Amino acid sequence: MSSHPVRRRRWRRASLGLITALALLVAPLAIAPAQADDEPSSFGLSMVAGTGKMMIAGNEPGPDLANPTSINGSYDAETGQLTDVNFSSPSVTFEQHVTKPITLTLQITEQLLMMDPGSGTGRLEADGTLAFNLGLKLRVQIASTVANGDCYSQPVNVELRSTAPYDPATGRVSLKAEGFRVNNFEVTDKCSQLIVTNSGPQFEGTNNRLTLTAEGDFGTRLEQTTTSLAVAPDEAMNDTETTLTATVAPAAASGTVNFYSGGTSLGDAPVVDGVATTTTKLSAGSHQLRAEYGGDQTYAGSTSASVAYQVRAYATLSGDLPGTVRRGAAPQPFTFSVANPANGRDEQRLRLDLAIDQDPNPNLCPTCPGYGDYVEAEDVVWEFQDGSGAWQRIPFSGDIAGGDAQLLGAFGGNAGFALAAGESRDVPMRLSIGNGSAEGRKLKVTAALVQVDASTGESGATIDSSSATVQIPLAERVPLESIGIDILFGGAQPYRYAQGYDIGWRVRLNNSAVPATGYPDGRVEFFVDGKPRSVTVGAVSGTIQQVPEGLAQITQAVIRTDDLAPGNHTIQVKYLGGTNHLPMLSAPLTFEVLAPFGALYECSFPTLGGGSGSKRMLIDGSADVPAYAGVGSEVDLGRVRVTVGGDLRNRQYASENLTAEIGSSGTASAATGVIENPNAAHNDYRILWDGGTGRTTVSGAAGDLVDVPLDRVRFYTPTGDRQYDCVPVGRPASLGLVRLVGTDLTVSPAGSSRLGELVTMTATVTGGAWFSTAGSVTFRDGNQVLGTVPVAFSTPVSFKTADLGSGAHQLTATWSGGIGFPPVRSAAVEHRVASPTVTTLATSNATPQYGQPITWKATVKPSPATAGTPSGDVQFAVDGNPVGSPVPLVDGVATSAPVANLAVGSHQVTASYAGSTAFGPSTSAALAQVVAKGATSIKATPALVELKGLKLHLTNLSATLTGPAGPVAGETVTFKSGVVPLCTAITAANGVASCSGTAGLLGIILALGYKADFAGSAGYLPSSGKGALIG
């Protein structure tokens, strides 16, 4: 297919601009903590989509961004690079609303980078439209007071198109792309500390706009090309390869050809001597294949014609062989099904090849007892049902005694059978084994659907296959010798485990006559203290478990001991019987559950094979903790002792580098653990870390006696390559108890006040009865001391001030403490002082007439002028009565709904701003709104007249009354002949009044028609109009 010729372009310089109306979304940013004592351990930062508001740790929105993010820069035609391209974002300062606020200065800088310098490609189409393609990435650099880093978006492919045809006179063209989107950011090592997860689309894209102004000589056109596509073979199967060959003419063309099936890319290949080739496996079905040549600096791109191509699917085989066939028993029926899909090929020569293997193979141990018994070809009676319903035997060949490994048979003969596309065939079959064959043996049967060689009758390619195992059971089942139970790696009895530990039991089905009777198969049931007990084998939990085939044992069945009381217990295993073996109940085995020395934890660890595992351990701890601490304060922990005990096989876990998470924000660490009980069995082996240090924050209500909990414990093996990570199953272990002392602060009025209004701060110290006579309370606004009040004989203690400035305040109260008691600071209470406002009011019409709609605009501004714009609602009122519902401010302005029915006369209009947390309420001065009567006009239409004697009957008298705002409804119009009334009517919604009347002939003649009079009303001035007569 030929392409349109395109003129070659030589780019000199261009300018680039991008404006996004949606703000950048960085969610969530995990900023690593700084080390200052007053800074939190971590926080989250995000931007709410579509609002331009920043959010911190899920709290209220922060300040507005000043302007939408913008991009500017230029395109360098010589290098193909975008240069000096960067985003312009405001530097924003945030205060974090958490227990210990800090101020974070965050600078976000963005850059737009080309994926591959010089990769921009363009084309000039026949209608003069120029298109230009760029591959870009967005780079985001984040610099803050606590962390720095940068991230890159996934590729952005943008196509710009000219907004007007290329102008040869100026050599300039303007291009534009709109509505493209910037994809998710890629979380790499470079930015993993800043972006924890993909935060969704960074730009929604509907408002993105990229513009480019290009200058250059576009006079030379590219040479046109043609591309053709050839596909081989002519038709393929779904597991065979298809070769696509594209030929581009002229052969001197270079570059790349992209291959497609419909809209799906099949890959690309370089053009060499005018040819590009790719090989692929296509899915079954119909395909429309094409090749797209992308062009180069001399030759234009072109696309081949589509090639319809069919990929066929193979026929499939399924069957349901019987699992057990007894010697000499009646044949066991089953069915083999062959299905040829609708998109398959017509098959002419299919055959079902059958192979039977012996298990165990008698040739592996010819001298073993029972191994000389095997199944020969004459023992296999395998039949199929033909079209007439008769059963036909399939002959099998092979001499196992002579050394053959398999017995072989076939359904379909040397000619095979046909199966058209979309056709299926069910073949009823049955199987029996003769009396002379072996017992206790397994037959591994494989059925293969093959294509038959037409000339030789030999088996060709295998299309599909199915296999199954058929058991020939003993004539009578035999008992096991015994059932053995022990603990895997458990050492000598008696078995002792602490409550909460997992116990791994090994179960063995003992049977020395395996060659003759086969390995025991089937299932076993577990009992503890005579009751069924759930165990876990691998990933399967339940009271009954399957015995793995060919093992005669369950290697590890895990029993949890959470609900087993300390003391002696028994375990038993019941074998439920199998193909060749009778059921049996084991003898009971006694084990002891010990009282736990600590709390129960689930510990995960990496396995040596690269996977992961877990086991339960007991952990206990203690530390030197203060007797008292303030609510929410950090306390130092001295001599932290942590004991870890459990199934620590081979004592390899006497470990290093223990770390513990304490409460919501504390940590403790200890360097080296020692063996606490070196002579204990491995299942109660304990490691002690002694002398660690740490800090934690204690939380709760004042007066509470709270735990210092071990919420997480991690330690390493001595080599440092395997970490154990332990979390509590239930209540965690405790390092000690601390009594909390607290200072509660209340502020009145709550939430907000007006500028200059008296604010009362009241502090209450709790946690002990004698606090009421000790120390003092210091009240602060952020870090500024407002005042200090001594504690006399009782709390609460109050402080009053009217000096708080406009804006938000973080108010706290700190009790100075006493002997043995630390100072205690209250949580911050945010209080906003509303800035005074002034509301002004303006009307849309200073001199309205009755019926004309009027709107009023209220403007609310801070007074004196401060940062920010008031938000909230404005209520408009006329003569003291509310008009409509409150109207929200938009950029400090609210406009009422139109009012058209304001009565004639003077009215007092006001606008009342309700205020917000940041701005105080205000009411405008009254606006005098004078409404005059509305001027009217009346237009009468010609009426029909009919002479009846000396009277004229006038029908369809009609007139339209119009006021300042259009038709006037509900007013009375009088129709007259001279001064004699004919009839009256009320105007409808369209201002029309109509009626009929009778008049004297002489009066009508003298009046020269009729008249419509409106006498005026409370709202409208009078008017009249004259109408003609027709008849």
Task: Tell me which range, 81-90, 456-465, 473-482, 642-651, is most confidently predicted by mean pLDDT.
Answer: 456-465
Model confidence at 92, in pLDDT bands (50, 70, 90)? very low
- Residue 82, CA atoms < 13 Å, CB-side half-sphere: 23
Q: Token pair of 3, please?
A: 């392409």
| Arithmetic mean of pLDDT, 173-181 | 68
Distance CA 625, CA 658 (A): 19
Q: In this model, does residue 184 exceed pLDDT 70?
A: no
- Among 263, 260, 267, 254, which Cα is nearest to 300's? 254
**Using CA atoms, how far apart are residues 960 and 687, in angstroms rounded to an integer?**
104
The neighbouring-strand residues paired with 320 are none
Q: Could you read off the pLDDT of 222-258 as tens digits, one per residue? A: 688 999 999 999 988 888 899 999 999 999 999 999 9
Q: Which of 321, 356, 536 is nearest to 429 (CA)?
A: 321
As given in the structure block, the two tokens for residue 835 are 């800035």
H/E element, 548: none
- Token pair for residue 201? 């689309």
Q: Is 619 exposed, middle or buried (0-12, 13-18, 19+ CB in 10 A)?
A: buried
pLDDT grade for 704, boundaries at 50, 70 and 90: confident
Instruction: Name the DSSP letter for residue 137.
Output: E
Of residues 115 and 667, the one with the higher pLDDT is 667
Name the residue type at position 477: R
CATH for the 837-931 domain, from 3.30.1360.70, 3.40.50.300, 2.60.40.10, 1.20.950.20:
2.60.40.10
- Cβ pair 410, 346 in contact under 8 A: no
Helix (H, G, I), strand (E, B) or coil at 620: strand
Residue 833, pLDDT above cutoff 80: yes
pLDDT digits (tens, 9 = 90+) for 412-423: 888 889 999 999
Q: What is the mean pLDDT of residues 593-604?
A: 89
Q: Which run of H or of E encompasses 1001?
A: helix 1001-1007
Residue with the two structure tokens 């204690």: 698
Report pLDDT for 770: 47
Element holding 716 (H helix, E strand): strand 705-716
Distance of CA 720 to the CA centre of its chain: 36
User: What value, to the nearest 5°, has the Cα angle with vertex 109 and ends 105 and 110?
Assistant: 155
Q: Is the per-residue pLDDT at 898 higher than 70?
A: yes
Across 379-407, b (16+ Cβ under 10 Å) vs e yields bbbbbbbeeeeeeeebebebebeeeeeeb
Q: Which residue bears the tokens 């990929």?
A: 311
List 299's β-bridge partners, or say none. 223
CATH code of the region 223-312: 2.60.40.10
Query: Rounded CA gap, 29 and 44, in Å?
Result: 5
Whole-number pLDDT of residue 372: 54
CATH, domain 599-740, list 2.60.40, 3.30.1360, 1.10.287, 3.10.50: 2.60.40
Q: Which two tokens stand for residue 822?
A: 């630390």
Distance CA 557, CA 569 (A): 17
Give Cα separations from 736 to 415, 597, 617 (angstroms).
Answer: 87, 16, 20
Chain center to CA of 555: 41
In CATH, what number does 482-577 get?
A: 2.60.40
- Please say whether the dihedral angle defined by the alpha carbons of residues 166, 167, 173 and 176, taken in this order, is positive or negative: negative
Helix/strand/coil percent split, the chain, to 5: 0, 55, 40
Q: How confident is the model at residue 493 (pLDDT cuts 50, 70, 90)?
A: confident
Indicate left, alpha or beta for 863 from its phi (over 0: left) and psi (-120 to 50: alpha): beta
DSSP E strands, 329-416: 332-339, 347-359, 380-385, 391-394, 406-411
CA distance 555 to 578: 19
How far is Cα 438 from Cα 286, in angstroms, rounded to an integer?
Answer: 53
pLDDT of residue 289: 95
For domain 937-1030, the CATH architecture is: Sandwich (2.60)
Q: Are 658 and 674 in contact (CB under 8 A)?
A: no
CA distance 963 to 956: 23
User: Residues near 207 by Cβ (< 8 Å), separated by ≥ 6?
Assistant: 19, 20, 21, 22
Residue 61 predicted with pLDDT over 80 = no
State the pLDDT at residue 998.
83
Are 765 and 777 in contact, with CB atoms under 8 Å apart?
yes
**DSSP string across 432-458:** EE-TTSPSSEEEEEEEEEEEEPTTT--
Break the chain into its structural domains and give their ranges: 6-220, 223-312, 316-472, 482-577, 599-740, 749-834, 837-931, 937-1030
Instruction: Give the contacts of 390 (CB within 8 A, at least 6 positions apart).
Output: none
β-pair type (776-781, 807-815): antiparallel
DSSP 1009: S
CA neighbor of 112 nearest in space, from 65, 71, 59, 163: 71
CA atoms within 13 A of residue 97's CA, in its CB half-sphere: 16
205 Cα distance to chain centroid = 19
Domains 599-740 and 937-1030 share a fold: yes
- Say if residue 99's pLDDT is above 60: no
Most distant CA atoms of the chain, gap in Å: 148
pLDDT at 122: 66
Taking only the tens place, the pLDDT of each residue in 516-554 is 566 788 899 999 999 999 999 988 999 999 998 777 889
Which of the two residues, 972 and 806, has the higher pLDDT score? 972
Q: SS3 string of 162-199?
A: ECCCCECCCCEEEEEEECCCCCCEECCCCCCCCECCCC
Nearest to 45 by CA among 154, 191, 196: 196
Half-sphere exposure of 462 (CA within 13 A, CB side): 9
pLDDT value of residue 315: 92
What is the pLDDT at residue 253? Answer: 92
229 secondary structure, DSSP code: E
Helix or strand or coil: residue 769?
helix
3-state secondary structure of 105: strand
Whether pLDDT at 28 is above 50: no
Strand runs (DSSP E) across 792-855, as ranges? 797-801, 807-815, 824-825, 829-834, 837-843
Lowest mean pLDDT among 416-430, 486-500, 1016-1030: 486-500
Distance CA 669, CA 695 (A): 10
pLDDT score of 661? 78
- Among 150-159, 201-210, 305-314, 706-715, the range scoring the smallest mean pLDDT is 201-210
Q: Are 688 and 678 in contact (CB under 8 A)?
A: no
- pLDDT at residue 886 in the model: 95
Share of residues in the chain with pLDDT > 70 (%): 72
The larger pLDDT score, comparing residue 882 to residue 299, is at 882
Fold of 316-472: Immunoglobulin-like (2.60.40)
Do residues 246 and 227 lie in contact, with contact meaning Cβ atoms separated by under 8 Å? yes
- Check: pTM over 0.75? Answer yes or no: no
* Contact yes or no for 850/933 (Cβ under 8 A): yes
Q: List phi, psi (to 5°) of 773.
A: -120, 15
CATH topology of domain 749-834: Immunoglobulin-like (2.60.40)
Quick one: pLDDT band at residue 116, thresholds 50, 70, 90? low
| CA–CA distance, 989 with 999 (Å, rounded to integer) | 29
pLDDT at 758: 94
Q: Which residue has the higher pLDDT, 22 or 830?
A: 830
What is the Rg, in whole angstroms, of the alpha carbon atoms belonging to the chain?
47
